[in-house]
Amino acid sequence: MSQRPSRVPRIARLIAIGLVVLIFGTWLGGHATWLPSPLRSSVANDSQARLVHQVLGDIQTDYYRKVNRSQLVNSGLSAMIASLDDPFSHNFSPSVYKSLFGVPHLNGIGVDVNLARRGLLVVDVFNGYPAARAGLLPGDVITKVGSTSLAGRSTSFAQRLIQGPPGTSVVLTVLAGGRRRVLRITRAHIVVPVAADRLITYHGAKLGYVELTTFDQQGAGDEVRADVEQMLHQGARGIVLDLRGNGGGLISEAIKVASIFIPSGTIASIAGRNTPRQVFTATGHAISTSIPVVVLVDGQTASASEIVTAALQDDHRALVVGTHTFGKGVFQDSFGLPGGGVLEIVAGYYYTPNGRNLGGGGVKQGAGVSPNVYAADKPRSSVDHQLNIALKTLAAEVK
């Protein structure tokens, strides 16, 4: 006859074992170096997580002023990222991320302007918006807003007068071809396009000008392609791609833009500590390589903008005009956080088709892309000196 063991001693033994494990585990929390590496990491991570939760709980419960736990967490994350001493890694709260990377918009009439001696020189008019419907054209000069003269005023002062709530009107005095006219334009909600184009006749040659302000928007590459094809359809014999002030964005959009001009081959490659080497090649359907291209850059041309610039330069597909670019040879990965925030950290390096890393092998500013034709910016001038040099360079390449 078999004998069934008593349940009471067994329960007592289990309780005793549990107490030993608990005591030993608590001790290990402060002496994890005694454990093998995999177990040590697990215990340390658990201990660190408990520490963070305890501090958050103590502050939320016992601090003399009421605090917001979510704000504490965001502040802690921001401090953690700041400790990396890396200018390209960030923790964005939901509201900040939306304001920085949402679709850019403003309330106004839909023009892009530069400072001129008599007021504001209209350099671009956004299709479908009030300024275009009122008949404003590139080259027009806005001399007054209402009764206020814009001569000698700053661009920001003039823009503040022109912008306003949608549905309200603004009265502009405009000079066009020596003729003065007064326009009453109703303001609207403006979604600023990431790309803009215009046809420029330079010493008898029709040249296409395409400006891209950011690579952050999905579809930026498609916009540039559409603008380039439109310029060519209108008779442009060469293209100026303006990437000045463009701080970059999505690598995928950079590959699309470079592929407009490069028919095949490597555009860029990336590699990181946790990112296997990946080579990006041209996607096809490039415009004819007989069409000359100039890329216009400055010290704020960075990241994805530099990928495009360097690819076209390495491939001998374009001449680069302007100043040295920023020199950002690293790329970031983004991770969605609970609540809608976004963590963006540097994940590795990118390389040009010739194997160059434009950031000097780290997260600090590097050498960047050296222009083929140097053209300094003259911010106080009403004439776009760099663009004029780019047009001159492009016109010399037109056959």
Residue 28 token pair:
């290990």
Query: d(Cα 329, Cα 271) in Å, to the nearest integer?
Result: 11
Q: Can 2 be counted among the known catalytic residues?
A: no
Q: What is the C-alpha separation between 319 and 303, in angstroms, rounded?
A: 19
Strands 239-242 and 293-297: parallel
Buried b or exposed e, range 39-58, using 16+ CB within 10 angstroms? eeeebeeebeeeeeeeeeee
Can you say how many angstroms the Cα of residue 370 is from the centroid of all Cα atoms in its chain?
A: 21
Instruction: Provide the β-strand partners of residue 87.
Output: none
**What is the C-alpha to C-alpha distance for residues 297 and 370, in angstroms, rounded to an integer?**
10
Catalytic residue among 328, 382, 392, 399: 328
Q: Classify residue 6 by burial, with Cβ atoms within 10 Å: 0-12, 13-18, 19+.
A: exposed
217 vs 234: CA distance, rounded Å: 26
Q: List the catalytic residue out of 269, 303, 370, 392.
A: 303
Contact 390, 375 (CB under 8 A): yes
Residue 94: both structure tokens together:
């939901």
Both tokens of 292, joined, read 């000359």
Q: Is 303 among the catalytic positions? A: yes
Q: Where are the beta strands (DSSP E) in 38-134?
A: 90-92, 105-108, 111-115, 120-125
DSSP string, 227-242: HHHHHHHTT-SSEEEE
| Integer CA distances (angstroms), 82 to 286, 309, 337, in order | 42, 30, 17
Instruction: Give catalytic residues, as residue numbers.
Output: 303, 328
